[in-house]
Structure 1
Amino acid sequence: MDARCPVRTLELTVQSVEGLQLDRKPATTKNNLFVVVRAESINSYTTCMAKEDATNNNLTWNHKLDVDVPLHASSITLEVKSKTLKGVKDVGIARVAVSEFMGGFGSVPQHCLQFLSYRLRDWEGRRNGVLNFSVRVVNSPEYVTAAAGKAVSPCGFKLRGTTMGATTSSSSCGGGVVVGVPIGWNSYGSSTYNNV
């Protein structure tokens, strides 16, 4: 069966977290923290366990993930979780609008590396630290043929000169840091975000 899924691929590197608390105490490596990334699909991507950065006492992952984002997705979520003896505990979540890094009017060009810091909230809506990550769009919106691994257009025609996962360098990429604070973060269909 020829399964075609409209996707874009992100190179997302979960870097570190600042000011994270667990049970009202500063989180440590003993809390076995990891991050799960979802892009409005059944697929999820998981980092390794956090390590402590000796220079600033932040918890770090520096874990690179290739995240397939469906074309219909309006946001991705990054969930910090703690592995305990009783199971997995939710610590904080950040929801990021896809429009922040996927192209479009006034956005950063494709293939440019962006560094983002997003406020985490617990499931009751309280602030709980800031998650730092970088993201780069590594392919154009295309249909990926699962069986053949070839790029095809939405009409089913093979795209000439297309290499899946190829990146191009650009010297026109601007620098800077965006801190996004979502409004209505716990609303699945919400697409309203504020940048601070």
Structure 2
Amino acid sequence: MKRAFEITLISAENIRLNKKPVKNAVVAVRVEPGHECSTKPAPDKGTNPRWNENLIVDLPLHAGFITVEVKCKSSSGSYKLVGGATVPVSDFAGDPGAPKGHVHFLSYRLRDPHGVRTDGIINISAKMAAPAPSHKCEVPRPEIGVPVGDQRKMMAAGGLVTGVPVWYAQPCRC
């Protein structure tokens, strides 16, 4: 079973790769291995890119964290990891006292591909998304019981008898 959450990738601060400002920075959000969503490249070049892009992601009930990674396009055309952060789901979904749809503004220090803290920071907002309105369909419940007596009287009085198991207080004698 899954629930949806909305994450807005706002901006990053002091993003550098090999001490150089980055170009075409994107942010990838990963909830489960192999399932990744990403933003479009930031129009801003340099150390403080801005995206202001919303992503709605399915979040499994068992998920304890999400991964947010800043990547930039290299000259070969592939994306290189600039830095990433592990965001606990409890930071935006764990407050039972918060009103529904409450937006959490969060900032995280990024770590490089080796796990070492960088000077880079990612700014996001996150909230649990409202469930999509579903069409409620009433399914008739089957009647339980055994028909008894005259069919005409049965229809007038409801006509079913429900059996209830009776447990005997006496022990079984084998």
- The question of a shared fold, defined as TM-score above 0.5 by the shorter chain, is answered with yes
1:10 Cα offset (Å): 1.0
SS at match of 1:45: strand
**Cα deviation digits, residues 4-34 of structure 1 (max 9, x gap):** xx11111110000001111112x24xx2110
Match of 2:5 among 6, 10, 13: 10
Give distance in 2, aligned partners of 1:33 and 1:139: 29
Aligned CA distance change for structure 1 residues 150 and 44 (closer, same or farther; 3 Å): farther
TM-score, normalising length: structure 1: 0.61
1:138 Cα offset (Å): 1.2
1:138 aligns with 2:129: yes
Match of 2:43 among 26, 38, 51: 51
1:23 aligns with 2:18: yes
Give percent identity, aligned residues only: 39
Aligned CA distance change for structure 1 residues 99 and 151 (closer, same or farther; 3 Å): farther
What are the residue-to-residue correspondences of 1:1-196 with 2, within 5 Å? 6-25=1-20, 27-28=21-22, 31-52=23-44, 58-86=48-76, 87-104=78-95, 108-128=98-118, 129-139=120-130, 150=134
Give distance in 1, aligned partners of 2:135 and 2:10: 30
How many residues matched? 136
The alignment yields a C-alpha RMSD, in angstroms, of 2.7
Moved more, 33-42 or 69-78: 33-42
Aligned CA distance change for structure 1 residues 102 and 41 (closer, same or farther; 3 Å): farther
TM-score, normalising length: structure 2: 0.68
Q: Structure 2: any 5+ residue segments left out of the alignment?
A: 139-174
**Cα deviation digits, residues 95-120 of structure 1 (max 9, x gap):** 01111111345x63431011100010
Give distance in 2, aligned partners of 1:13 and 1:101: 12
**Cα deviation digits, residues 107-160 of structure 1 (max 9, x gap):** 6343101110001000112222000011111136xxx9xxxx9589xxxx98xx
Aligned CA distance change for structure 1 residues 59 and 40 (closer, same or farther; 3 Å): same
Give distance in 2, aligned partners of 1:45 and 1:108: 27
Structure showing greater radius of gyration is: 2
Q: Structure 1: any 5+ residue segments left out of the alignment?
A: 1-5, 159-196
